[in-house]
Amino acid sequence: MPKSLDEIIANADRYADAFEAYEPTGNERETPSPVLALQLAVFRRAQAEKEIAEAVAAAREAGLPWSKIGGAVGTTGEAARQRYAHPA
C-alpha cells in the first residue's frame, strides 16, 4: 500500500493510464470477468486514495492540525501524518 502522497498519486495515475488505454470488446459491459471487476475496484481505490491525499494536502495548507485530519480519515493524527506528509 502506498504511503507517501507522491506514491499515492503515482499509483492512481498508473491505473488511470491503464484504464484509459483499455478498449472493451462489448462482452465486458454485461458481466465483467472477475479479473476485470477486481481491476476496476483497484482503480476506484487508487482514485479515492488520490482524492484523499489531495484533500489532506489542501487541509494542511489551510492550517488544519494533523489531529483533525486524522479524525476525518478515521485514524490518529500521527498515523495520518505518517501516511500523508510529504517526504523530507
Q: What is the residue type of 46? A: A
Answer for the pair 80, 56: CB distance below 8 angstroms, yes or no. yes
Q: CB neighbours of 87 closer than 8 A, spacing ≥ 6?
A: 4, 6
The gap from C-alpha 4 to its chain's centroid, in whole angstroms, comes to 11
Residue 40 lies in domain: 5-84
- How many independent structural domains does the chain possess? 1
Give residue 16's pLDDT band: very low, low, confident or very high (50, 70, 90).
Answer: confident
Task: Report the residue count for the chain.
Answer: 88
Whether the model pTM is above 0.85:
no
Give the tens place of pLDDT for each residue, 29-86. 567 789 998 999 999 999 999 999 999 999 999 999 999 999 999 999 999 999 999 7
CB atoms within 10 A of CB 42: 13
